[in-house]
Chains A and B, each alone.
Chain A
Amino acid sequence: MGYTLNFAAVWRDIDLLWAGLGMGLLLALASILIGVAIGLVMAFVLTSRSPARPLAASYVSIFRNTPLLVLILFTYFAMPQLGIRLGKLESFIAALSLYAGAYLAEVFRGALSAVPPGLSEAGLAIGLTRSQIRLNIVIPVMLRTALPSLSSTFISLFKDTSLAAAIAVPELTYYARKINNESFRVIETWLIASIFYVATCVLLVSLLRLAEKRLAIPK
């Protein structure tokens, strides 16, 4: 085949990859925080008899069935025509958060139905208001039930941050492509970039497992 591996070009720019990795983690973190908030609200609306329910259901269905790349391009390139002009980072975080929110709404809806009704009744019995019960009893319990799905959503959001490269947000894939195009060390670049991703995912999985164990609801 006559291809000799030479990692020099990738090592020289390894700082870029680290910076890109940090950016990816930051984007994922911001999106999961906003996504959890959206998902919680949607889950409550979806399980209520409120007139907003069909609206929430269509939000979930639309954002789950539309490609993330289309959402990203739409928020960045098309929203300005509606007068909403966001920077690259903001529009990416907006798209990813809404995408995450749709997935998490379903996750939380499942978790919500797993919260024993006795808990809310006990809250009522000791004189808490509805919103106090939600905030102090139901949400903590459902978050803990949803923890495993929450961690896997976080991992896939981290991988999805690679799409930010499409609107030139400087994250890992963006820099990998840059190194690839400048050095032509094709195999080395993509090998190292994938190792960055895989290693981060493995690390995240084990960290989140640890958190899951710590926070699991005692049986």
Chain B
Amino acid sequence: MDTFLTILWTARYALLGGLAMTVFISALAVLAGSVIGVFVGLVLSYARGPLNWLVRMYVDFVRGTPVLVLILASFYILGSLGWKLDAFQAGILALAVFCSSHVGEIIRGALSAIPRGQTEAAKAVGLTFGQSFTYVLLPQAARIALPAWVNTAVEIVKASTLLSIIGVAELLLSTQEVIARSQMGLPFYFLAGFIYFLVNFAIERVGKLAEKRLAMGVR
């Protein structure tokens, strides 16, 4: 136990840096993925013809491919095409793409759960499509989508560990480096698992709180 604490103290900055990287990567991927995902959901819900098919194919292709394959493909392919992306950028790109396909489906589902009468009422009071979307549909869709969106955020935090495989120094890779030096796999893997659990547990709790706050008044 003593040696563990000594090593932990020596490695504290490496591990905290890894944690910060994990949080940063996840936040960026969720943010970018959600912005793209809202557009994906809009296209899936309202566009007709080739644009709809293209986006549908994008979503199905991404959802049918394991995240690890997305990450490896993004890492190797972009480099060979001459895009100078480092592992960090390629990894975030892959996670954002993964996130966008999930958020897209969530938004599509949420929009289809809003009664048609809402759109018709908005049209009847003279709102344009843009206005009725921003003021009527989006707030309701956001509430419906919130629980699934929180789950996606947890999935992204978990998927961010896969970036360790392409060499991004997030929490798991920092932990593995400490383990390689100290030969103490058991306590340090345990610690990493515990920290991930705490981060995701916190996200879940905040999500539940937000859900309660935003719960629709009339039921």
Whether B192 and A173, one on each chain, are in contact in the complex, defined by CB atoms closer than 8 angstroms, is: no
Whether A186 and B76, one on each chain, are in contact in the complex, defined by CB atoms closer than 8 angstroms, is: yes
Whether B185 and A78, one on each chain, are in contact in the complex, defined by CB atoms closer than 8 angstroms, is: yes
Q: Which residue of A lies closest to B74 (CB)?
A: A190
Which of B61, B81, B185 is the most central at the interface, judged by chain A CB atoms within 10 Å of its CB? Answer: B185
> For chain B residues 166-219, which have a beta carbon within 8 Å of chain A?
172, 176, 179, 185-186, 189-190, 192-193, 196-197, 200-201, 204
Q: List residues of chain A with CB within 8 A of the CB of B67.
A: 159, 162
Q: List residues of chain B with CB within 8 A of the CB of A163.
A: 66, 68, 162
* Interface SS of chain B: helix
11 residue pairs from A and B, CB less than 8 Å apart: A66-B158, A66-B196, A67-B159, A68-B158, A78-B189, A81-B186, A82-B186, A162-B69, A180-B72, A187-B80, A201-B63
> For chain B residues 36-50, which have a beta carbon within 8 Å of chain A?
none
How many whole Å from A77's CB to the nearest CB in chain B? Answer: 5
Q: List residues of chain B with CB within 8 A of the CB of A186.
A: 76-77, 79-80
Whether B186 and A198, one on each chain, are in contact in the complex, defined by CB atoms closer than 8 angstroms, is: no
Interface size grouping (class) on chain A: 35 or more
Whether B165 and A74, one on each chain, are in contact in the complex, defined by CB atoms closer than 8 angstroms, is: no
Whether B66 and A197, one on each chain, are in contact in the complex, defined by CB atoms closer than 8 angstroms, is: yes
Interface size grouping (class) on chain B: 35 or more
> For chain A residues 149-200, which have a beta carbon within 8 Å of chain B?
159-163, 165-166, 173, 176-177, 180, 184, 186-187, 189-190, 193-194, 197-199
Q: How far is the CA of A65 from the CA of B198 in the complex (A)?
A: 8
Per-residue CB proximity of A55-72 to B under 8 Å, as 1/0? 000000110111111110
